Amino acid sequence: MVQKYEIPVNKYIFHRKYLQKIEFSYTFVSEFYHNRNDMELTLDLNRTYTYEDYLTWFDDVRRELIDGFIKFLPAPRAKHAVISYNISWNLGAILKKNPCNCQVFYAPFDVRLPKNGEKAYNKIDTVVQPDICVVCDLSKIDERGCVGAPDMIVEILSPSTAKKDITEKFALYERSGVKEYWIVHPDSKAVVVYLLQEDGKYNEGTVYEFGGSIPVHVFDDYPIDWNDIFQA
């Protein structure tokens, strides 16, 4: 049976040990990409940029903008890539069995999150590349990606992005109105699912580990088997 339980009042307590373990690695990777980026584009990491700026960066470095500040996205580890494929495939399989207007997208796929409905490129200062997202309002999709909050986002933790996924992106997705947010721990083989409540805040989260199934709430609780996510 799946072990399912509510996260304590401190919503980050489940993730804390992981964050402590990867703190050094996160700092090292950030500094590495800072130096590499300075050589290639001479971008100032202490200033803010817009999506209009973002579109002019034609090198091979993956980046996000959060409130205008650059965040780097190193290539995922093999374990990360396998889990991403497994979840994407299972979400796609659900859609084939239960056709609807939703679509599944996976990184690299730009999601622009405008503030106050302002969609001009020089006004948007947040663009992210979630590992996986589900969009059910297809009017949000254009040739460059998604404009507005997806219905569901999945982020798979890695040493270089874990702190951002658990803190910054948690707050970002909450305020942007992402209905369902999955944080996946590859090492402990756990999935933490947060659901947006009527007050616009995420609940305390539910942890799924040790087998069983995980309901996908945006797909009417249709389940994905835990083993199908973490199989090699």
pLDDT digits (tens, 9 = 90+) for 68-103: 999 999 888 999 999 999 999 999 999 999 889 999
- What pLDDT does residue 5 have? 42
Q: How confident is the model at residue 38 (pLDDT cuts 50, 70, 90)?
A: very low
- 228 versus 13: the higher-pLDDT residue is 228
**What is the mean pLDDT of the segment spanning 130-148?**
97
Q: How confident is the model at residue 58 (pLDDT cuts 50, 70, 90)?
A: confident
- What pLDDT does residue 232 have? 77
Relative to beta strand 180-185, strand 190-195 is antiparallel
**What is the mean pLDDT of the segment spanning 226-231?**
95
- What pLDDT does residue 10 have? 53
Candidates 207, 120, 127, 136; CA nearest to 169 is 127
- What pLDDT does residue 32 have? 45
Q: How confident is the model at residue 28 (pLDDT cuts 50, 70, 90)?
A: very low
**Residue 36: strand, helix, or coil:** helix
- What are the φ/ψ torsions at residue 182 (nearest 5 degrees)? -100, 130
**Residue 133: strand, helix, or coil:** strand
Q: Determine which of 24-38, 57-71, 72-86 has the lowest per-residue pLDDT on average.
A: 24-38
For residue 4, list its beta bridge partners. 208
Burial letters for 118-150: b for 16+ Cβ neighbours within 10 Å, e otherwise? eeeeeebbbbbbbbbbbbeeeebeeeebbbbbb
- What are the φ/ψ torsions at residue 78 (nearest 5 degrees)? -60, -45
Residue 24 has pLDDT above 50, yes or no: no
Q: Which amino acid is at 228?
A: D
- What pLDDT does residue 19 have? 60
- What pLDDT does residue 41 have? 74
Residue 141 has pLDDT above 90, yes or no: yes
Provide the Cα torsion 208, 212, 216, 221; round to 10°.
-120
**Residue 152: strand, helix, or coil:** strand
Q: How confident is the model at residue 18 (pLDDT cuts 50, 70, 90)?
A: low
Q: How confident is the model at residue 25 (pLDDT cuts 50, 70, 90)?
A: very low
